[in-house]
Structure 1
């Protein structure tokens, strides 16, 4: 087994890091304070060809796998921009996957090139306020009419909807109580975010202020038949194509954020002199940082394993979920230790670690909670009775 990155992977890593070095702490601090989408960063990644890394080459993408996307996003996350940097481009790597797998040639030609070139942005409308992780209980409904559908409903925690031109929208087309299985009767659309029919209300939140999160209110939105992805009623199964890649990418992004914070903490511990010696010379400072390094490295390897399994077409549900679980915890513990290492200055914005700590907490919550991950592993791997 070879645990080293290939020459291609190292080239990806170095190219992306070349872009991250152009956007320093001051840039991300201003974006956070102004709650402003990092458009310059987004366009720089588009110009580098990174927004289409997993998409087909015939539409302008690089046609690479989830492993390559993971290497790329690890370089992004560890480059100082934290969740603001990764969240601004994250959806391009997993969100359009149902289009790639199930879209017609006309749909792919219409939708993918603008995304890859950075001319259009998309958001993901799945979660609802009264359903949460119980996706089968969504109530946003698409009623069939001549030439398309009329949609009414509400979505929650829709990232980048303030910026988006398009929305990947999961709806019900058959009420849950009329379906044989709870997962039946849901339909997936990719359509214009028509703001005359859709209200997007920004949610004030704890961190990642540069990339908006929103409550979305849909009132009589018409979606043409041409914007339906795949068959009516099979949308839930189509979403499954993107769930494992999303978990892998969130996991490795969490690792990158934790490693960035850890490096900042180690630098401070080497340079901060108290009682005539660097604080990093004290084992009470050094040992917790070393332990955080070990946890991050272990999580990183699980992310790479899950990505490799996915690209090989092998089952990877347990590994992808475990990668997200381990990475989120390792990241939060590393960023918290980084704040503690800085002492009082860790609470100041100047050293960035407080921002990274706030952002790392998100990776423990989204896109799936730790409790749901553990329930999945208990049932699917250990053979224990289903608990929900």
Structure 2
């Protein structure tokens, strides 16, 4: 077992850190206040080749793996962006790149992958529904066969970056639940234009992740063409799981980077801030221990995520590792950002010191893209062999 990075991986880490530092903490604070999409940083990420890390070379990518994607995301987020920046990788290299690379037609790959790598195509994924939530098998959005295509009707919620996206990966039933023998049957994936008749969306006001909007999406008799099917008709659920588990890896990488950044900001402040007898507050165990604990947790999450990514790259099962890493990272980032605020005291609550943004944004990822409770259900059932509890 070798934990050393290759020269290529080290170069990726340095490139990502350099790009991330170019758009520093003040950049993200200003965008957060304006609720503005980080177009400039994404263009720079694409120009540096970081969006195409895991895309095949023949379509403009680097043909590397999820291990390298995780390294890049960690460093970008740790430089200044925090966990929100990792969502851009979920939307594009994962929802767009992984889906098309693994399950798309050749025509789809040639049209969309080079555009994704260049930053000319942006993606969103429409899975979650108001009445389904985590129970994806209960989704009601339905694509009714219509000639050589379908007509799509339904509603989605909490869909990221819809106003900016050019393409949307839509998860829908193509056979109704009562018509199939197994709940996992009758689900299909479609990749459609966001700008299409019958597709509308409405912004959701939220506590954090302000630079990436979340929306409710409505489909009213939206036309879907035959060539927009991704993967297997009626058999898309297993393909969807493959996409979602790679999303876990990217989410974890972003949370690890967030925890690293929050701890660094807190430690820097603790070294400089002096009180009472003139000693730095960082000399007190009451300050040291919570930050040290958060650091330990983030390192454990990083290692588990590296294992998940390595298994994925080797074509081996990796679902348990990806889920466990995400659970660990959610707690590590939660602890790190909370203790960073506590370390800074009143200034931790001030926007000029940045940690409050990291705290607000990271809190989302204990409930999304999969809640920590569902991860515990998964581990109990698949790793411990316990009965399904829900």
Report the equivalent of 1:119.
120
Q: Return the alpha-carbon distance in structure 1 between the equivalents of residues 231 and 377 of structure 2.
A: 30
Once the two structures are superposed, the pairs formed by residues 180-329 of structure 1 within 5 Å of their partners are 180-275=181-276, 276-329=278-331
Q: Give the Å deviation of 1:93.
A: 2.3
Once the two structures are superposed, the pairs formed by residues 327-338 of structure 1 within 5 Å of their partners are 327-338=329-340
Q: Return the alpha-carbon distance in structure 1 between the equivalents of residues 292 and 242 of structure 2.
A: 37
Pair 1:143-2:148 in alignment? no
Q: Return the alpha-carbon distance in structure 2 between the equivalents of residues 269 and 347 of structure 1.
A: 16
Runs of 4+ in 1 over 4 A off after TM superposition: none
Pair 1:87-2:87 in alignment? yes
Residue-by-residue CA offset, 1:324-364 (whole Å, 9 max, x unaligned):
00011011001100000000100001110111111111121
Report the equivalent of 1:354.
356
Q: Return the alpha-carbon distance in structure 1 between the equivalents of residues 353 and 6 of structure 2.
A: 33
Once the two structures are superposed, the pairs formed by residues 93-104 of structure 1 within 5 Å of their partners are 93-96=93-96, 97-104=98-105
Q: Return the alpha-carbon distance in structure 2 between the equivalents of residues 147 and 381 of structure 1.
A: 43
Residue-by-residue CA offset, 1:8-31 (whole Å, 9 max, x unaligned):
111100011111111112211111
Structure 1 stretches of 5 or more lacking a match? none
Pair 1:130-2:131 in alignment? yes
Q: Return the alpha-carbon distance in structure 2 between the equivalents of residues 155 and 74 of structure 1.
A: 29
Q: How well do the aligned residues superpose, as a CA RMSD in angstroms?
A: 1.1
Report the equivalent of 1:18.
18
Q: Give the Å deviation of 1:231.
A: 2.6
Q: Return the alpha-carbon distance in structure 1 between the equivalents of residues 2 and 89 of structure 2.
A: 29
Q: Return the alpha-carbon distance in structure 2 between the equivalents of residues 206 and 175 of structure 1.
A: 36
Q: Return the alpha-carbon distance in structure 1 between the equivalents of residues 24 and 100 of structure 2.
A: 35
Matched residue SS, 1:119: coil
Q: Return the alpha-carbon distance in structure 2 between the equivalents of residues 365 and 62 of structure 1.
A: 32
Q: Give the Å deviation of 1:195.
A: 4.5
Residue-by-residue CA offset, 1:95-128 (whole Å, 9 max, x unaligned):
1323211222111112211111111111001111
Residue-by-residue CA offset, 1:222-258 (whole Å, 9 max, x unaligned):
0110111123101212112212211111112111101
Q: Return the alpha-carbon distance in structure 2 between the equivalents of residues 294 and 69 of structure 1.
A: 22
Structure 2 stretches of 5 or more lacking a match? none
Q: Give the Å deviation of 1:90.
A: 2.7
Of 361, 378, 381, which aligns to 2:380? 378
Report the equivalent of 2:74.
74
The 10-residue stretch of structure 1 (138-147 or 189-198) with the greater mean CA deviation from structure 2:
189-198
Contact 2:87 2:251 in 1 (8 A): no
TM-score, scaled to structure 2 = 0.97
Matched residue SS, 2:340: helix
